[in-house]
Chains A and B, each alone.
Chain A
Amino acid sequence: MTFEPKIVGFLCNWCSYTGADLAGTARIKYSPNIRTIRVMCSGRIEPTFIIKALFEGADGVLIAGCHPGDCHYQEGNYKALRRYRFFKKILPQYGIEEGRVRLEWVAASEGERFASLVDEFTEEIRNLGPLNIKESIKKAMLDDVIPHAESEHHKGGDANEA
């Protein structure tokens, strides 16, 4: 079976989600691998959301917000950019490729750009392969069990659910 990446897309309400909507109404075809989540502002996206998405099975996370200077809330997209740059820096410390997360600016008029971005990012993630982080963490704990058979309450690895 070929690998189909799961991508979570966090799109800001004012520009990028509208841009994605435009791609839809203009009937532009793009890769179906993205699951979009509308947030009010790219500045609302917390690093926790991204980690949670990756942990729960996403192979990549795309964040899209208004172009610099265009934020509906003045500063939200700058916050998003700073969080993104910081997040990219720490991802390798978790053993995760930094290319699995991407931030882009997509305006309400850029339906076509949104579609091609999703296609491009899907291919990037396809090349990186599946992330499978939950499984790999679980696997790393498989041997964390009480080893000696004569030990009291020797039950195996049931207490080590990831």
Chain B
Amino acid sequence: MKLKTGIYWGAGCGGCDVAVLDVHEKLLAVAEKMDLLFWPIAMDFKYDDVRARADGEFDIVLYNGAVRNSENEEIAKLLRRKSKVLVALGACAHMGGLPGLANFHTREDILNRVYLESESTVNPEGVIPQERWKKGEEELELPRFYNTVKTLDQVVEVDYYIPGCPPVPSQIISALTAVWEGALPEKGSIIGAGTRTLCDECPRNKEEKEITIFKRPVEMIPEPDKCLLEQGLICLGPVTREGCGARCINSNVPCRGCYGPLDGVSDQGMRMLGALASVLEPKEEKEIDALLSQVVDPLRTFHRFSMAASILRRKKV
């Protein structure tokens, strides 16, 4: 029997969908075991196709992208009802991902910036998207643009998480394999990743850290074998779950934290702040402040993928 499968994107970039395709020829093996009943990015499906299904009819649904507007939430709830296993696929569904950085702003700030203030905007009448529009007989509705970006598990119950931006394709396959072999772990587990930090799988040489300077990746070509943090690049390896195969590290780029925090860590960003501050060299307040002034936008750097899933979830307004 084939697994009835759905793949959906909320507030995402499509990278997770592409990661599903990136399994290359293994996709054929997957297709043998799966019946794709819903995958809007790849084929023509309508929401009514999903509504027409019985509750729990989907064996597995992979939801990628964050919950950014009411359409995302509505479909998340619909898919939850129609599926036996709902998987948060990728950093956005898992932790809010990059869209979660919008939680440092308000809905109003964002709409004003995009539709009125940006340098490339021409909008003399000051038109801003409306939820309802009526002209004569015609009436249109748009989903509500939320003030706060949410993770998938903040609006529906999630069975499993596959982290990453995007997840490593082979790990998507192993998750699907686990479903058709009935070998799924405990509900709520992270699948397709390890339990140690990225530093544990990072091949670089690491020594005692005493940071005296901070640099951005555009300002230097890092030495290939030495710990990036020791070279002054902010690398989130110490606070990030292993499982990606050190993709960025092996491309000489520091880790940005897309695989999320380790088990038991409630706030990846705060964890990084604590870890990084511990390994600075200076001991005097003035020198510490001078060094810290070199860190551009620390909070968004530490919470790059995890803001919506952090303790505060959003900026106070």
Binding site for B on A (CB under 8 A): 43, 46-48, 51-52, 55, 68, 78-79, 81-83, 85-87, 89-90, 93-96, 133, 136-137, 140-141, 143-148, 151-153, 159-160, 162
- A37 → chain B, closest Cβ, in Å? 17
- Answer yes or no: B17 CB below 8 A from chain A CBs: no
> Size band of the B side of the interface?
35 or more
15 contacts between A and B (CB under 8 A): A47-B267, A82-B277, A82-B280, A85-B292, A140-B106, A140-B148, A141-B314, A144-B148, A145-B144, A146-B74, A147-B143, A148-B70, A152-B51, A153-B78, A159-B156
Q: B264-311: which residues lie under 8 A (CB-CB) from chain A?
A: 265-267, 270-271, 273-274, 276-278, 280, 282-283, 285, 288-289, 292, 298-300, 311
* Interface assignment of B252: CB less than 8 Å from any CB of chain A: no
Q: List residues of chain B with CB within 8 A of the CB of A136.
A: 316-317
The contact of A86 among B265, B271, B273, by CB within 8 Å, is B273
Cβ-defined contact, A146 with B316, below 8 A: no
Separation of A159 and B146 alpha carbons in the complex (Å): 13
User: Counting chain A CB atoms within 10 Å of each CB, which of B267, B271, B283, B316 scores highest?
Assistant: B316
Q: Contact between A83 and B278 (Cβ–Cβ < 8 Å)?
A: yes
Contact partner of A159 (CB less than 8 A), chosen from B106, B154, B292, B299, is B154
What is the distance, in angstroms, from B68's C-beta to the closest C-beta of chain A?
Answer: 10
Contact A94–B278 (Cβ < 8 Å) = no
Contacting residues, chain A, for B104 (C-beta < 8 A): 93
Q: How far is the CB of B295 from chain A (nearest CB, A)?
A: 8
Q: Is the CB of B311 within 8 A of A51?
A: yes
* Chain A residues within an 8 Å CB radius of B278: 43, 79, 82-83
- The answer to whether B266 touches A68, judged by C-beta atoms less than 8 angstroms apart, is no
Residue B312 lies at the interface, judged by CB distance under 8 Å to chain A: yes
Q: Decide if B312 touches A133 in the complex (CB within 8 Å).
A: yes
Q: Which residues of A contact B241 (CB under 8 A)?
A: none
A79–B279 Cα distance when bound, in Å, is: 8
CB pair A94 B316 closer than 8 Å: yes
Chain A residues lying within 8 Å of B131, measured Cβ to Cβ, are 147-148
Q: Which chain A residues lie closer than 8 Å to B317 at the CB level?
A: 95, 136, 140
